[in-house]
Chain A
Amino acid sequence: MIKAILIFNNHGKPRLSKFYEHYNEDTEQQIIRETFHLVSKRDENVCNFLEGGMLIGGSDYKLIYRHYATLYFVFCVDSSESELGILDLIQVFVETLDKCFENVCELDLIFHVDKVHNILAEMVMGGMVLETNMNEIITQVDAQNKMEKSETFIFQSTRQDR
């Protein structure tokens, strides 16, 4: 199971937080801050696994993260997930974002966090991996965006009618 997915930048500013277990808002912020401290002090060429992290912790849990340019993608998972598998999943996630936003950069995530959530929802559901095939994910995301667009269109046209 995946317990939480966090994206934050090099300064620890959250860009996306998805907790699959309930915490109150303060605890969530604390977890984000702490995870940032743990992750950011690590060198570039060390391994991507991190044990501990007190809040999210428990011996069964691991932090698995990747660092892309200005962003950290951190997954907190328990031992039922394959470590290397999750690393791949992060890669798939980022590549998907890249496709959906066309050359994704931090600004895309800042202004369209809802879209990022929607993409993530096609990959991970309730803490379990739903889909790992990038093409499939993109197809579904596109189809939903198309639906959204058609709805806006109808809405606008009805407005014009009036």
Chain B
Amino acid sequence: MALKIVKGSIDRMFDKNLQDLVRGIRNHKEDEAKYISTCIDEIKQELKQDNIAVKANAVCKLTYLQMLGYDVSWAAFNIVEVMSSSKFTYKRIGYLAASQCFHENTDVIMLTTNQIRKDLSSPNQYDTGVALTGLSCFVTPDLARDLANDIMTLMSHTKPYIRKKAVLIMYKVFLKYPESLRPAFPRLKEKLEDPDPGVQSAAVNVICELARRNPKNYLSLAPLFFKLMTSSTNNWVLIKIIKLFGALTPLEPRLGKKLIEPLTNLIHSTSAMSLLYECVNTVIAGQYSCSVGHIKSHLLCVQKLRILIEDSDQNLKYLGLLAMSKILKTHPKSVQSHKDLILQCLDDKDESIRLRALDLLYGMVSKKNLMEIVKKLMIHVDKAEGTTYRDELLTKIIDICSQSNYQYITNFEWYISILVELTRLEGTRHGHLIASQMLDVAIRVKAIRVFAVAQMATLLDNAHLLTGNMQRNGICEVLYAAAWICGEFSEHLENPVQTLEAMLRPKVATLPGHIQAVYVQNAAKLFATILKNQEGNTDSTAAQETSQMMIDRLPLFVQSANLEVQERASCILQLVKYIQKLQQKDVEVAEEVSALFAGELNPVAPKAQKKVPVPEGLDLDAWINEPPSESESEDEQPKAIFTKEEPKHSRPRHTEVDEKELARRREARKQEQANNPFYIKASPSSQKVYQEAPGVEHIPVVQIDLSVPLKVPGLPMSDQYVKLEEERRQKERAEKKKKEKKKRKEKRSGRGKKHDSGPESEEDITPAHVVDIVTEEMPEVAQEDQNRLPSPYLCRVKVCICMFCLCRPLADSEKLPVRSHRAAGAPKSSAEDGEAENATPQEPKKKSSKEKRDKKKDKERDRKVRLRCWKHFPPSGHKSDSRSTQSEGRTVVTFLVFPLPRKVCDIQGNLQDGSQVVVSVIFENKSDSFLKSMEFNVLDSLNSKLQRPEGSGPHDGLTVPFQLPPGVSNEARFVFTVQSIVMPQKLKGTLTFIVKNEDSSTHEKLDFKLHFTCTSYLITTPCYSDAFAKLLESGDLKSSSVRLEGVNMPFHHLLARICFHHHFSVVERIDSCASMYSRSIQGHHVCLLVKTSGQTVSIDAKCDEPTLLGNVLDEIKQTFSQC
């Protein structure tokens, strides 16, 4: 043995330690992977040795390799071994490794429970600390449940070092085991006032995290925090508290008011920027609720933020903008006054800051400055390097322009030009966004159609540009819009034949299918228009030529692989062929052809469908066919305007490109563009202007005396509109002045209300076009019942920590499991009923009043989840029992283990684990002797098994953890694992014990039966009538019914009886009819409809588990047959 140890130590001297490993890896740059794999082999050898030092060293190296991306989960068991070393050094290595690579699904974690418990109670504070730190990283629901009590004890440890760690880890415990929150909360609250600042800070930290999940529960702590805020000097704590208040104030307006003063004081006094910033944030949050007053504090905030934004520190600038965007939501005006500053930030070299500034722009546009701001953004679009930022700009431009039904757009020609300019962006993902804007504007702004159609025709004509690199190019989506607009409004086309030709070019076939389909369909529309135009002419050849062109070009699409394209193309091809025939016979067809596409398309409000009444006899909710399987329904997701969903590719990774490289590429691109005949040269467009050529101002601008700009040939230049718009406005102003001079003889509708001709105000700017604004009505769907407060029961069902109400007094059932309980086999409660029957022959008393009292007390205590269930035992059971005792010759056996004739057992459904039930048995000693060494044993069935401590055999009994002096009763709990709960079940059991008298002691045995009824698996769960109705409608419940005759009791007694004995709750009661609900521990819903007439009661029931339902109904029937 000694030799072995020595040998191990010697081996160890030759082992690589972590430093050697790192050095080795650095020396093997070429074949790192190979080197590491040999190292892993060595580590595997080391782990096989008995020496813990060698193992620890190996685990330490594994931790390093894990960081490099190697899976080390295979060594999990060895890690546990190292964790359980008695030496702190190794223990720490073990816990570190565990914290790096254990997670909820690591199966060896369950082996650690006792080790961790041991470490937690170690006399050495650092053993405890290391265990807590490790546990914080890999805590699982099981660990949390088993260790919650131990950790809670540590919260009152004498060492602050342990206290603060214990407090902090409680948050993790709450997350994994929400039931622990209520019992632990009072102590957590105490820790807010701990003398040690570290502990205090940890407690604040935990409560802040909790409050983020559900602030409402923590409102009651506000006074305490308020006190802390005014007394604490620890900035870290202050920040947390102030952040917490930020979450609370929206819920409690009075709090906001109360906070203003201390917060403004802090703002004035603190030198810590972080604190100042959080104060400002919270004041802003407070203003949400109290719109009144506080102008002073508000101004102070804005002013402070301005200082932050102006600061040279980029971090402060960023945060300032971030906070500004919060103000923007409530007080857009006060942000608008800082427009200059924010626009300046758009030029910042830092992308994070630019993005923040962009967010702010949204709220700052007005009719007056929209064009100017967008122009600025367009310059950025051109300069932007990363696609992400450019795409962001693009969406922002569109957002800004389209907000509130294009409220700020005064000139739609300008907007169309902007959109067309945006189509020049290569590689943007937002082609569909531009397209939908084009469609939207063209459809809703009637006056713009002529212009839009001309622009779209140009786009189609230059489509090569767009399709250049089509595979990755989302921009080709705009062609969808362009083709549709040209087709639908083809009457406005200047040269329809040319456009038709453009739409039928062979290159179109390379576009995505859904776009081609639109091309084909709209080519047909165009064709109809052309025919109509040409038919008037005397020369019919032109019309025939057009038909011929269609016939020549369409076969290309007929061959398309895309079904939609193919189908449309072949239809249209046949149609055109037929038309051609008619044309050759000189038949006039134009009228009929255009009838195919007759009718104007008008915008429809999204909710318009709602206004169409549902025809009688049509049930929209009913299935026409059998519900499709899930996979199918996924396919049927509503499609967007475009048939193809935007592929969810991850955003393109930005490649790093340095300045030079970029410049080089740009140059190359320009060259290429210059030589490309299809590329629209920059000259007429704004590109040059964007480069801020000095000469812009000097370009002579011809004064055009028109209120609406002339149509601009070729591609539009949005910049022109800025100028033109200026002129238009000036002109309008001038006109207005004139009119005013004329004493406003004519009143222009709706405007001109302001008389001062001074600075232009918002209302003075009149849009050049009118938008068809289709108001969207508020959805009629009433407030969903989702806001309804969940009852405590539901809380538990959902096991969601934020729902626990912390103000309610703690129920006993919520006590954290303590170890002793587990020894008895009951981790937590769950239900069960036990009925044990047993008996003692000469049970003289039936039910003592004391028992009754106890029962009552219990009931109160257990109102949370437990209910009691009383059972009858078959009298025969009794007899046999009594006989057994009698045969021993005892006459005075009055230890009433189970008070007869009814047994009281607690039912507790373990909601966390639908397969566990807990039987609570009250043992009462009615004899004069002392009872000890009680052992409880049950013969397991396949379905139900008594949970025994680890290591004991399947037939071992459980020791009842107490002794019973004469006349005393006590309760013990036993956990059973139940697989199926749909059938009732009886388990036979035995209780053995020693009866000790003054002179002798004898061994005694008592048989009993435990009756698990189906009812005992039900848990009273309240249900609201609407939820209940939904449940019934859902259609996955099977129904069954039962009829009870001769029930002679008032209806409400009947209901009460069902509620009481069978754990139902009444959902709704109308006269002699009531609906009831309950839920099993495994989540089956059980719904009853109880009707009574005379002495007959009929119960219609529904449940998702028919067997369970049948049994429950049988049990109900039995209940009433006995009364």
Question: In the bound complex, do residue B68 and residue A14 qualify as a contact, i.e. CB atoms below 8 Å apart?
Answer: yes
Most buried by A among B5, B136, B277: B136
Question: In the bound complex, do residue A85 and residue B136 qualify as a contact, i.e. CB atoms below 8 Å apart?
Answer: no
Question: In the bound complex, do residue A151 and residue B209 qualify as a contact, i.e. CB atoms below 8 Å apart?
Answer: no
**Chain B residues, CB < 8 A from A147:** 88-89, 124, 126
Question: In the bound complex, do residue A84 and residue B273 qualify as a contact, i.e. CB atoms below 8 Å apart?
Answer: yes
Question: In the bound complex, do residue A144 and residue B88 qualify as a contact, i.e. CB atoms below 8 Å apart?
Answer: yes
The smallest beta-carbon distance between A156 and chain B, in angstroms, is 9
Chain A, range 52-95, C-beta contacts under 8 Å to B: 54, 80, 82-85, 87-88
Identity of the chain A residue whose Cβ is nearest the Cβ of B244 in the assembled complex = A80
Question: In the bound complex, do residue B136 and residue A126 qualify as a contact, i.e. CB atoms below 8 Å apart?
Answer: yes
Question: In the bound complex, do residue B656 and residue A41 qualify as a contact, i.e. CB atoms below 8 Å apart?
Answer: yes
Question: In the bound complex, do residue A37 and residue B653 qualify as a contact, i.e. CB atoms below 8 Å apart?
Answer: yes
Chain A, range 13-45, C-beta contacts under 8 Å to B: 14, 16-18, 20, 22, 24-26, 28-29, 34, 37, 40-43, 45
- Report the stretch among B58-66, B488-496, B1017-1025 that lies at the interface: B58-66
Question: In the bound complex, do residue B352 and residue A47 qualify as a contact, i.e. CB atoms below 8 Å apart?
Answer: yes
Identity of the chain A residue whose Cβ is nearest the Cβ of B388 in the assembled complex = A52
Question: In the bound complex, do residue A49 and residue B318 qualify as a contact, i.e. CB atoms below 8 Å apart?
Answer: yes
Question: In the bound complex, do residue B5 and residue A162 qualify as a contact, i.e. CB atoms below 8 Å apart?
Answer: yes
How many residue pairs between the two chains, A and B, have CB atoms under 8 Å in the bound complex?
162
Q: How far is the CA of A159 from the CA of B13 in the complex (A)?
A: 12
Verify if B1053 is at the interface (C-beta below 8 Å from A): no
Question: In the bound complex, do residue A151 and residue B239 qualify as a contact, i.e. CB atoms below 8 Å apart?
Answer: no
Question: In the bound complex, do residue A130 and residue B67 qualify as a contact, i.e. CB atoms below 8 Å apart?
Answer: no
Chain A, range 103-131, C-beta contacts under 8 Å to B: 110-114, 117-118, 121, 125-131
Identity of the chain B residue whose Cβ is nearest the Cβ of A131 in the assembled complex = B198
Verify if B236 is at the interface (C-beta below 8 Å from A): yes
The smallest beta-carbon distance between A145 and chain B, in angstroms, is 10
**Chain B residues, CB < 8 A from A47:** 314-315, 317-318, 350, 352-353
**Chain B residues, CB < 8 A from A80:** 208-209, 212, 243
Most buried by B among A34, A50, A147: A147
Interface size in chain B (residues, C-beta < 8 A): 77
**Chain A residues, CB < 8 A from B654:** 37, 41
**Chain B residues, CB < 8 A from A17:** 67
Question: In the bound complex, do residue B96 and residue A118 qualify as a contact, i.e. CB atoms below 8 Å apart?
Answer: yes
**Chain B residues, CB < 8 A from A24:** 71
**Chain B residues, CB < 8 A from A133:** 198
Verify if B948 is at the interface (C-beta below 8 Å from A): no
**Chain B residues, CB < 8 A from A42:** 350-351
Verify if A140 is at the interface (C-beta below 8 Å from B): yes
- Report the stretch among B167-175, B515-523, B816-824, B1057-1065 that lies at the interface: B167-175
Verify if B443 is at the interface (C-beta below 8 Å from A): no
Verify if B290 is at the interface (C-beta below 8 Å from A): no
Verify if A155 is at the interface (C-beta below 8 Å from B): yes
**Chain B residues, CB < 8 A from A50:** 352
Identity of the chain A residue whose Cβ is nearest the Cβ of B314 in the assembled complex = A47
Q: A25-B66, A41-B654, A54-B650 are in contact. Are A125 and B88 (CB under 8 A)?
A: no
Identity of the chain A residue whose Cβ is nearest the Cβ of B164 in the assembled complex = A130
Question: In the bound complex, do residue B19 and residue A128 qualify as a contact, i.e. CB atoms below 8 Å apart?
Answer: no
Verify if A102 is at the interface (C-beta below 8 Å from B): no
**Chain A residues, CB < 8 A from B60:** 114
Q: Per-position contact with B for A139-162: 1 when CB-CB < 8 Å, else 0? A: 010011001100110010001001
Verify if B87 is at the interface (C-beta below 8 Å from A): yes
Most buried by A among B23, B89, B349, B353: B89
Question: In the bound complex, do residue B274 and residue A126 qualify as a contact, i.e. CB atoms below 8 Å apart?
Answer: no
Identity of the chain A residue whose Cβ is nearest the Cβ of B239 in the assembled complex = A82
Verify if A98 is at the interface (C-beta below 8 Å from B): no
Identity of the chain B residue whose Cβ is nearest the Cβ of A20 in the assembled complex = B137
**Chain A residues, CB < 8 A from B22:** 110-111
**Chain B residues, CB < 8 A from A125:** 132-133, 136, 165, 168-169
The smallest beta-carbon distance between A85 and chain B, in angstroms, is 5
Q: Is the interface of B mostly helix, strand, loop or mixed?
A: helix
Verify if B562 is at the interface (C-beta below 8 Å from A): no
Verify if B255 is at the interface (C-beta below 8 Å from A): no
Verify if A9 is at the interface (C-beta below 8 Å from B): no
Q: How far is the CA of A147 from the CA of B71 in the complex (A)?
A: 31
The smallest beta-carbon distance between B347 and chain A, in angstroms, is 13
**Chain B residues, CB < 8 A from A37:** 653-654, 656
Verify if A1 is at the interface (C-beta below 8 Å from B): yes
Verify if B812 is at the interface (C-beta below 8 Å from A): no
Q: A114-B96, A133-B198 are in contact. Are A25 and B63 (CB under 8 A)?
A: no
Identity of the chain B residue whose Cβ is nearest the Cβ of A139 in the assembled complex = B161
Question: In the bound complex, do residue A126 and residue B169 qualify as a contact, i.e. CB atoms below 8 Å apart?
Answer: yes
Question: In the bound complex, do residue A162 and residue B2 qualify as a contact, i.e. CB atoms below 8 Å apart?
Answer: yes
The smallest beta-carbon distance between B22 and chain A, in angstroms, is 5
Q: Per-position contact with A for B653-667: 1 when CB-CB < 8 Å, else 0? A: 110100000000000
Q: A54-B651, A126-B168 are in contact. Are A25 and B205 (CB under 8 A)?
A: no
**Chain B residues, CB < 8 A from A1:** 209
Q: How far is the CA of A54 from the CA of B650 in the complex (A)?
A: 8
Q: How far is the CA of A132 from the CA of B2 in the complex (A)?
A: 47
The smallest beta-carbon distance between B159 and chain A, in angstroms, is 11
**Chain A residues, CB < 8 A from B1099:** none
Verify if B460 is at the interface (C-beta below 8 Å from A): no
Identity of the chain B residue whose Cβ is nearest the Cβ of A22 in the assembled complex = B103
Q: How far is the CA of A47 from the CA of B349 in the complex (A)?
A: 10
Verify if B92 is at the interface (C-beta below 8 Å from A): yes
Question: In the bound complex, do residue B277 and residue A128 qualify as a contact, i.e. CB atoms below 8 Å apart?
Answer: no
Chain B, range 3-23, C-beta contacts under 8 Å to A: 5-6, 9, 18-19, 22-23
Verify if B319 is at the interface (C-beta below 8 Å from A): yes
Q: A16-B67, A43-B349, A80-B243 are in contact. Are A87 and B236 (CB under 8 A)?
A: no
Identity of the chain A residue whose Cβ is nearest the Cβ of B106 in the assembled complex = A22
The smallest beta-carbon distance between A150 and chain B, in angstroms, is 9
Q: A114-B96, A128-B171, A136-B198 are in contact. Are A82 and B133 (CB under 8 A)?
A: no
Verify if B931 is at the interface (C-beta below 8 Å from A): no
Question: In the bound complex, do residue A114 and residue B63 qualify as a contact, i.e. CB atoms below 8 Å apart?
Answer: yes
Q: How far is the CA of A83 from the CA of B193 in the complex (A)?
A: 26
The smallest beta-carbon distance between A98 and chain B, in angstroms, is 20
Which of A16, A84, A126, A143 lies in contact with B126, CB distance below 8 A? A143
Question: In the bound complex, do residue A46 and residue B67 qualify as a contact, i.e. CB atoms below 8 Å apart?
Answer: no
Q: How far is the CA of A107 from the CA of B164 in the complex (A)?
A: 32
Which of A113, A130, A152 lies in contact with B168, CB distance below 8 A? A130
Other A-B contacts than A28-B69, A148-B88, A151-B87, 11 sampled, CB-CB below 8 A, are A17-B67, A37-B653, A37-B654, A51-B352, A80-B243, A82-B240, A82-B243, A84-B277, A114-B64, A126-B171, A144-B126
* Residues of B in contact with A (beta carbons under 8 Å apart): 2, 5-6, 9, 18-19, 22-23, 26, 53, 60, 63-64, 66-71, 87-89, 92-93, 96, 100, 103-104, 124, 126, 129-130, 132-133, 136-137, 139, 161, 164-165, 168-169, 171-172, 198, 201-202, 205-206, 208-209, 212, 235-236, 239-240, 243, 273-274, 277-278, 314-315, 317-319, 349-353, 355, 650-651, 653-654, 656
- Could you jot down 17 A-B contacts, CB within 8 Å? A37-B653, A46-B353, A47-B317, A49-B352, A50-B352, A51-B352, A83-B274, A84-B315, A87-B315, A111-B23, A114-B63, A130-B202, A131-B164, A133-B198, A140-B161, A144-B92, A144-B126
